[in-house]
Amino acid sequence: MVIGQAPVATGILTVSDLGCQTPNSSERLRIALFPKQGPPLMLETTEKIGAMPWRFVSLNDNTAAVVTRVKATRHVLVYVVRHHGNRLTLDRMPELPVAYNGDFAVAVANASDGLRLMILGGSHGRYRGCMECRNETHSL
């Protein structure tokens, strides 16, 4: 299942879940770059990554972020995808140590020292529905 796609200078980056292709591995991901010219580049994670839902946002010309949560703690977790020459790399960032349900939003903003990935709103209650949303933003 395609989770997301993001335009970058050299083509389109996509993230898909491998769960339908390999039993018991619904959290392994495939990241692919479909360049304007040449064959696609692919990277498959060997470890299980995060918990649904995943967000995928473009950060700059050759970088995007996969935003997810740690299942056990519900902390927000970000993986940075970079396109270097003829390969893709995936780097895990430190967890945001705040529990979230999957109801937060992700935004990218320019700052004086570079781009900021922001986690907006969301809730952490046990039940969903008429929960009060957080009035906070975390910049990563």
What pLDDT score does 19 carry? 66
pLDDT at 116 over 60: yes
pLDDT at 34 over 90: yes
Structural domain span for residue 35: 2-139
Burial 83-112 (b: 16+ CB within 10 A, else e): beeeebeeeeeeebebebbeebebeeeeee
Of 84, 94, 42, the C-alpha closest to 63 is: 84
pLDDT class of 32 with cuts at 50, 70, 90: very high
Q: What is the pTM of this model?
A: 0.78
What pLDDT score does 135 carry? 57
Residue type, 105: A
Cα angle: 87, vertex 93, 75; to 5 degrees: 135
Residue 49, CA distances (Å) to 7, 15, 64, 119 in order: 22, 12, 16, 18
Tens-digit pLDDT profile for residues 119-128? 777 676 666 5
As a whole-number percent, the residues of the chain with pLDDT over 90 amount to 6
- With beta carbons less than 8 A apart as the criterion, state whether 115 and 107 touch: no
* Structural domain count of the chain: 1
Range name among 2-6, 54-58, 121-125 with the lowest pLDDT average: 121-125
Angstrom distance (rounded) from CA 15 to CA 5:
6
